[in-house]
Structure 1
Amino acid sequence: MNIEIKQTNECKKAYEIAKSLPEYFHKDGLKSIERDTKNHMLFGAYLNNELIGFAVYKEINNEAIEMLWLGILRQYHRKGYGKILVERNLAEFSKKYKVCKVKTISDSDDYEPYKKTRAFYRNLGFIPIETISPYPGWDNDPCQIFVKFLHA
């Protein structure tokens, strides 16, 4: 698997990846992705120099970082590219931060794409710590907050 993970400024391409996944990203989410890719740390997964996935991170404070967005082109789902992207990012972030947080739709919602999302985060070692329902700004959707400790 010849994949390169690097910080990037390919905001438009990241947005297009998200737009190609309507079951994960609705209109308001896409607006936020468009803004967040420009204002926060954007990392890309490149296969043969083509952007196939992205992750956006925001520093919360000196000890914590939040993964705001993650998207991989559909044809590369379940092939390990998302895992590589996140694991390499977190390995680098562990030099500075103690914990990474991510929010997603809670398991009280059995929508299949988000079942897969939650399983993905759990497989990476994220643990659910809190559910907020409804989460402000999430169209009455319940939010599950996951964290992963990067180092002690």
Structure 2
Amino acid sequence: MTLRTDGPANHSQAECEEILRSIPDWFGIEEALLEYVANTKTLPTFVIRDGVQALGFVSLRQHFAQAWEIDCIAIHATARNKGLGTMLLLYAEQWLIAQGAQFLQVKTIAATSPNPHYAQTRAFYERMGFTAIEVFPELWDPQNPCLQMLKAIRCA
């Protein structure tokens, strides 16, 4: 495998859509999936590739000069659990630090939901240094309680 990460750039929406559709247990809400795909056209987006094949991507949203959010991160089903998400996120964090960012947040499904797939997601973010800071039980809907997690990526 010859891996390379590129971005930020506007990437092929078709590539990002293919990645999201490969993991329907995480991206099974069509409206949300299409919104994530559309966002890759306007948000800073990084892609990890094996040659020309896109294996994963992360899109970032800026809220304030020092505060950013992961809009979407996904690794293709055939490439999961090989460290690619870690590599991709670390690459994006280095770019954020160069932009002057201090904090990176992410929203995911809270542990009050019995969804086993999102237990994996929370564990990934915890391994990456994110800390749970608040649950918003109805931000999305009662079946999908929102957990906000935060990581300090650079000290002021």
1:41 lines up with 2:44 in the alignment = yes
1:23 aligns to what?
25
- For normalisation by structure 1, the TM-score amounts to 0.93
Task: Work out the CA distance in 1 between the residues paired with 2:46 and 2:12.
Answer: 9
Q: Specify every segment of 5 or more residues in structure 1 that has no aligned partner in the other structure, as ranges.
A: none
Task: State how many pairs are aligned.
Answer: 150
1:34 CA displacement: 2.2
The amino acid that maps onto 2:137 is S
Runs of 4+ deviating beyond 4 Å? none
The amino acid that maps onto 1:104 is T
Task: Work out the CA distance in 1 between the residues paired with 2:42 and 2:12.
Answer: 12
Task: Work out the CA distance in 2 between the residues paired with 1:92 and 1:99.
Answer: 13
1:45-124 matches, within 5 Å, as 45-95=48-98, 96-124=100-128
**Cα RMSD (Å):** 1.2
Q: Specify every segment of 5 or more residues in structure 2 that has no aligned partner in the other structure, as ranges.
A: none
Percent of paired sites with the same residue? 25
1:131 aligns to what?
135
CA shift digits 1:23-75 (9 cap, x unpaired): 10121221211221112111100112211001010111101111010111111
Task: Work out the CA distance in 1 between the residues paired with 2:61 and 2:43.
Answer: 6
- For normalisation by structure 2, the TM-score amounts to 0.91
